[in-house]
Amino acid sequence: MASDGSTEALAPSAIVADRPAARFRLWPVLDRILQPTLAIAVFLAAWELAPRLGWVNPTFLPPFSQVIVSGIDYTLAGKLGPQVLVSLERAAGGFFLGVVTAVPLGLILGWFNKFERYLNPLLQLLRQTNPVSLFPVFILFFGIGYMTKVAIIYWVVVWPILLSTMAGVQYADPALIRYGRTLGLSHTKLFTKIVLPSAVPSIITGMRLAATYSYLMLVVSEMVGASSGLGYMIVNAQYLMSINLLYVGVIVLALLGIGTNYALVALERRLTAWKGEAVR
């Protein structure tokens, strides 16, 4: 009986001693939650409070909650969805054309150095051409319809993908290439088994940059000669002083960019799963 009493007497102190350890175990979980959300939460809180406290003019920067309410109303009215779909179609068209042309060309130029030395001066000249200054040229060739917007997006998309693909091939690990040659691999197998897999991260990086540029140029292209799309929606909201809808368009574009970036990161992890297998 005495031994049972001593055990019960020690139990509360043991629980108190375990509390710091429990908090210590809880912190990594909280840290993983706060890292991607804390800065955004602070930013949105500042956005909400600044106009309400009179720090900024609410006419030009309405509270975040009002913007969200306007976005929900606009969506429920069936007006936001068509604008998003039209913009996605244009951005995806230019991005897809950029990928299917820039990746093969970048692989060729990165692998055949002599060919790259001949074409590189022309590529650098074209790359430095301002896409906005080419807008009138594309309008002359394609009019003011769908193809003009796809063409201008393609122009800004193709260069980061092309250059990143070339760099990924040219900077493949020379030790692995030498090892492949000692194994007697042909040029084709050397390229497909060693160079191409090692270039995938660079290619995806170029695609991520290109996706960002595509949404930036999408807004510019839809500001001229467009009657639909998020860019048109933003400009029209500015003219009509519908400031809430203007910010709705900006937020939707940001969310589209974030979603595209996460999708490309997931694609890179899938295509480079062999790295984890090699480590294990």
User: If you write DSSP's letter for every residue of 67-91 in order, what string do you get?
Assistant: HHHHHHHHHHTT-HHHHHHHHHHHH
Q: When comparing pLDDT for 40 and 225, which is higher?
A: 40
**Is the pLDDT at 2 greater than 80, yes or no?**
no
> What's the whole-number average pLDDT of the chain?
84
Q: For residues 107 and 99, give the distance between their C-alpha atoms in angstroms, rounded to a whole number.
A: 12
Q: For residues 94 and 115, give the distance between their C-alpha atoms in angstroms, rounded to a whole number.
A: 26
**Final residue of a domain: which of 20, 45, 61?**
61
Domain co-membership, 137 together with 53: no
**In total, how many domains does the chain have?**
2
Residues 132-160, mean pLDDT to the nearest whole number:
87
pLDDT in the model for residue 275 = 65
**Is the pLDDT at 6 greater than 80, yes or no?**
no
Domain co-membership, 51 together with 122: no
The domain in which residue 43 lies consists of: 1-61
- Looking at residue 146, which CATH number applies to its domain? 1.10.3720.10
CA distances from 82 to 77, 125, 218, 272 (A): 11, 38, 15, 36
Q: Band the pLDDT of 222: cuts 50, 70, 90.
A: confident
pLDDT in the model for residue 21 = 56
**Is the pLDDT at 1 greater than 50, yes or no?**
no
Domain co-membership, 138 together with 7: no
Domain co-membership, 82 together with 105: yes
Domain co-membership, 53 together with 70: no
Q: For residues 278 and 280, give the distance between their C-alpha atoms in angstroms, rounded to a whole number.
A: 6
Residues 97-105, mean pLDDT to the nearest whole number:
94
For 243-262, write each residue's pLDDT tens digit.
999 999 999 999 999 999 99
Q: For residues 166 and 153, give the distance between their C-alpha atoms in angstroms, rounded to a whole number.
A: 21
Domain co-membership, 181 together with 165: yes
Residues 125-132, mean pLDDT to the nearest whole number:
86
pLDDT in the model for residue 19 = 57
**Final residue of a domain: which of 41, 61, 81?**
61
Q: For residues 95 and 48, give the distance between their C-alpha atoms in angstroms, rounded to a whole number.
A: 35
Domain co-membership, 56 together with 9: yes
For residue 78 the two structure tokens come to 């069936």
**Is the pLDDT at 161 greater than 90, yes or no?**
yes
**Final residue of a domain: which of 45, 61, 77?**
61
Domain co-membership, 39 together with 167: no
